């Protein structure tokens, strides 16, 4: 959360920024890795993945967002010199969830 808040403040205060600003991690990961990292941080087992046909049945065309993913990076923030306190997911989750 600290990086999200600081990125928004940075975008508001930086007059050079214009257009859309992606407030995402500078280190995108796949959904399966996301689940494994959450399991590691919370000391819980990582459940078996949901089969793609089940996702297609549940979400229809929107299942492509989950199955194929979106490679989004905070390009504008990085180009303007924003420094992330938690550039990788595991450190962010440990700060957020293990307190």
pTM: 0.74
pLDDT in tens, 26-55: 998 887 788 889 889 989 888 767 788 888
Contacts 24+ apart (CB under 8 A), 29-32: 29/89, 30/69, 31/66, 31/69
List, in sequence order, every beta strand (DSSP E) within the chain: none
- Name the residue ranges covered by the structural domains of the chain: 1-27+71-88, 29-70
Residue found by looking up tokens 């214009």 in the block: 18
The answer, yes or no, to whether residue 94 has pLDDT greater than 90, is: yes
Span 63-80, pLDDT tens digits: 887 777 778 899 999 999
- Please enumerate in sequence order all residues whose Cβ is within 8 A of that of 82, keeping only pairs 6 or more positions apart, or say none: 6, 7, 10, 74
């Amino acid at each position: 959360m600290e990086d999200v808040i600081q990125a928004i403040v940075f975008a508001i205060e930086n007059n050079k920024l214009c257009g859309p600003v992606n407030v995402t991690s500078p280190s995108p990961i796949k959904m399966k890795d996301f689940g494994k990292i959450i399991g590691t941080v919370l000391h819980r087992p990582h459940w078996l993945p949901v089969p793609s046909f089940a996702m297609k049945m549940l979400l229809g065309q929107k299942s492509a967002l989950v199955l194929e993913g979106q490679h989004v990076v905070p390009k504008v923030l990085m180009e303007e010199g924003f420094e992330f306190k938690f550039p990788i997911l595991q450190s962010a989750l440990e700060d957020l969830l293990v307190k």
